[in-house]
């Protein structure tokens, strides 16, 4: 790995995490209680931003690897890993790998939630 890319990811991640914290908090405080509206909105806006940035990088702008890493892995990765999940899912679908896409999407959601409960159970049982 190149040090420039690592620094770009680290700086972008810090910025993205702060953006997630403030955006999710602002949305949640303005929304109806009982549903995680803040993170819901962050995930959707992060997916949209990933689409815009990746298409700009591919079709319109000549971004350096550092800038691309800063924006996608860094800022959007810190803002929401759901944007990366969405991109990976879309790439599988665009490649017509529908079975892989379905397995990836359903497996990621179900197994991530199951893993969360497993981690909670482990700590609660100790």
Q: What DSSP letter does each residue of 11-42 carry, written as one string?
A: HHHHHHHHHHHHHHHHHHHHSPTTS-HHHHHH
Asked if pLDDT for residue 116 goes beyond 90, the answer is no
Q: In 3-state terms, the chain is what percent helix, strand and coil (to 5)?
A: 85, 0, 15
Q: What is the pLDDT of residue 117?
A: 92
pLDDT digits (tens, 9 = 90+) for 99-112: 999 999 999 999 99
Domain boundaries along the sequence of the chain: 3-80
More confident call, 9 vs 62:
9
- CB neighbourhood size of 68 (10 A): 19
pLDDT digits (tens, 9 = 90+) for 18-33: 999 999 999 999 998 8
Token readout for 30 is 């303005």
pTM: 0.82
């Amino acid at each position: 790995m190149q040090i420039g890319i690592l620094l770009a990811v680290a700086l972008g991640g810090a910025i993205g995490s702060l953006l997630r914290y403030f955006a999710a908090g602002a949305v949640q405080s303005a929304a109806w209680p009982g549903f995680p509206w803040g993170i819901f909105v962050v995930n959707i806006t992060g997916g949209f931003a990933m689409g815009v940035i990746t298409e700009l990088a591919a079709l319109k702008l000549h971004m350096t690897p550092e800038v691309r890493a800063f924006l996608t892995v860094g800022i959007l990765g810190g803002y929401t890993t759901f944007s990366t999940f969405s991109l990976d899912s879309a790439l599988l679908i665009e490649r017509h790998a529908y079975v892989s896409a379905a397995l990836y999407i359903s497996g990621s959601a179900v197994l991530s939630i199951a893993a969360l409960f497993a981690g909670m159970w482990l700590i609660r049982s100790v």
